[in-house]
Amino acid sequence: MKDLTKGNVAGVILKFALPMLLGNVFQQLYSIVDAVIVGKFLGKDALASVGASFPIIFTIIALVIGIGSGASVVISQYFGARDYDKVRRAIDTVNIFLLFTGIGISIIGILSSRWLFTLLQLPEELMAPAITYLNIYLVGMVVFFGFNGTASILRGIGDSKTPLYFLIVATIINISLDLLFVVVFKWGIAGAAWATVVSQVLAFTALIIYINRTHNLVRFAIKGLVFDWDIFRQSIRIGLPTGFQQTFVALGMMALMGIVNTFGTDVIAGYTAAGRIDSIAGLPAMSISMALSVFVGQNLGAGKIERIRAGLRAALLIGSITSIATTIAVWLWGDPIMKIFTNDANVIAVGKEYLIIVSLFYIVFSTMFTFTGLLRGAGATLIPMFITLFSLWLIRIPLAWFLSKQIGVQGIWWSIPIAWFSGMIFLFIYYKMGHWKNKAVVKSVVVAGE
């Protein structure tokens, strides 16, 4: 664990954020590679089918990921207390939970895939390839949960490097298999899905072999697993709020996708490609936010309140600079970047229009995430959660539906920065109110007024 209570404020935040940024980039490469290869070699229909599947996949896994994060916190606390028997029981518990939920979600998702796409008003010509991609992806859900669950366990005991290394390996395998299955074997959209599943199986197998040989505490074996209900209840209590927030955000993505789907294949494909670019563009802001959370937590515990304020100013400055640079890059190279995904002129035009509108407000997005990071680091997570859900469900989704009826697809794109702006304003107001200062875990810290 790095000590963030000393040294140059901007320097320590930036240095702490960079490894997380690298990890986030490789995490995003999974979906980006699928979109690039599918769009380039299979066409816009296949690209739109992959894009339509993503919100469903995210919704399916969101709650489980939240509960898994709660288990990671429980494991880290037992590890910190040197109660290694409880650490092993917690690891067993989370592994059993992920195994059975992975199987259950695969079965339910495959049986309901057509119904879900019908609910989202997916055009009929995209229905068959979208169902094929989603169902194959769901076959590998157990392995997906296993890989991410094991990574969470390792982070819980302070090992953040091993998950990053194997994530890089999984990404390289996925890229290679995408090219092999789609370009060489001509398996179509099914090949892209199988490339993801097989890469996860190989990476998870390699990770298990590695930790069984190198970690005495974290060992994976089916025989002798123990499910501890007390530990599971603790994991639920800690992880459920995060899981609910992730789920409602994912449902919001599905609702937005449902509105996009009404505009046809070109818009769906353009939105899919632009969304992948957008996800990369947002990573610096998210990484800075995560770094600021840890920075605030440590300095609040040390009673260094002025350093927290300096940290906020530094994070806002770093975020603003990176956001402006990203906006300029998108404006200058948006067209050639879109051409990485597809050669279709209509799809490129849709994606470029999305990027031009949304990228203007990356600085708003970054500011919003910076305040969220500060509040999270102080332990004030409930109000920011409600602000996030309010901005999504009471502003972005209704506004996207209304504006799309008035000015067409551009109305959907404009609803996104408007929601960011409202979230930023509400978070800033809550920050200035100062209630978050009373959420510190270390109750001995006396926080002066603004």
Per residue in 288-314, pLDDT tens? 988 887 787 777 767 788 888 899 999
Judgement on whether residues 164 and 210 belong to the same structural domain of the protein: yes
8-state DSSP, 37:
H
Reference 293, options 380, 375, 368, 366; nearest CA is 375
> 366 with 424: CB under 8 angstroms?
no
Q: Lowest mean pLDDT of 21-25, 184-188, 283-287, 318-322, name the range.
A: 21-25
Structural domains in the chain (count) = 2
Q: What is the pLDDT of residues 9-67, one digit of tens each?
A: 888 888 878 877 887 788 787 778 888 899 989 999 999 998 889 888 888 877 777 67
Q: Lowest mean pLDDT of 225-239, 351-365, 367-381, name the range.
A: 225-239
Judgement on whether residues 58 and 183 belong to the same structural domain of the protein: yes
> 237 with 96: CB under 8 angstroms?
no
Query: Who's near 49: CB < 8 A, 6+ residues apart?
Result: 126, 129, 130, 132, 133, 189
Domain assignment of residue 399, given as a range: 1-27+263-444
Judgement on whether residues 98 and 221 belong to the same structural domain of the protein: yes
Measure CA 328 to chain center: 24
Domain boundary (182, 206, 240) is at 240
| Residue 253 domain flag | no
Measure CA 140 to chain center: 19
| Residue 91 domain flag | yes
Domain boundary (240, 273, 300) is at 240
Reference 297, options 287, 283, 285, 307; nearest CA is 307
Provide the 10 A C-beta neighbour count for residue 209. Answer: 11
Three-state secondary-structure class, residue 279: helix
Q: What is the pLDDT of residues 147-168, one digit of tens each?
A: 888 877 776 665 667 887 888 8
> 327 with 360: CB under 8 angstroms?
yes
| Owner of token pair 């107001």 | 429
Domain boundary (209, 240, 271) is at 240
| Residue 257 domain flag | no
Judgement on whether residues 319 and 233 belong to the same structural domain of the protein: no
Provide the 10 A C-beta neighbour count for residue 305. Answer: 16
Roughly what angle, to the nearest 10 degrees, separates helices 410-433 and 397-407? Answer: 150
Three-state secondary-structure class, residue 412: helix
pLDDT at residue 118, as a whole number? 93
| Residue 19 domain flag | yes
| Residue 403 domain flag | yes
Judgement on whether residues 409 and 321 belong to the same structural domain of the protein: yes
Judgement on whether residues 22 and 73 belong to the same structural domain of the protein: no
Judgement on whether residues 235 and 339 belong to the same structural domain of the protein: no
Q: What is the pLDDT of residues 309-356, one digit of tens each?
A: 899 999 999 999 999 999 999 999 988 999 999 989 999 999 999 999
For the entire predicted model, the pTM comes to 0.80
| Residue 302 domain flag | yes
Q: How far, in Å, CA of 248 to CA of 62, rounded?
A: 9
Reference 149, options 92, 87, 78; nearest CA is 92
Judgement on whether residues 183 and 268 belong to the same structural domain of the protein: no
8-state DSSP, 448:
P
| Residue 245 domain flag | no
Judgement on whether residues 93 and 193 belong to the same structural domain of the protein: yes
Judgement on whether residues 51 and 126 belong to the same structural domain of the protein: yes
Judgement on whether residues 48 and 20 belong to the same structural domain of the protein: no
Judgement on whether residues 216 and 276 belong to the same structural domain of the protein: no
| Residue 33 domain flag | no
Provide the residue type at 78 as one letter: Y
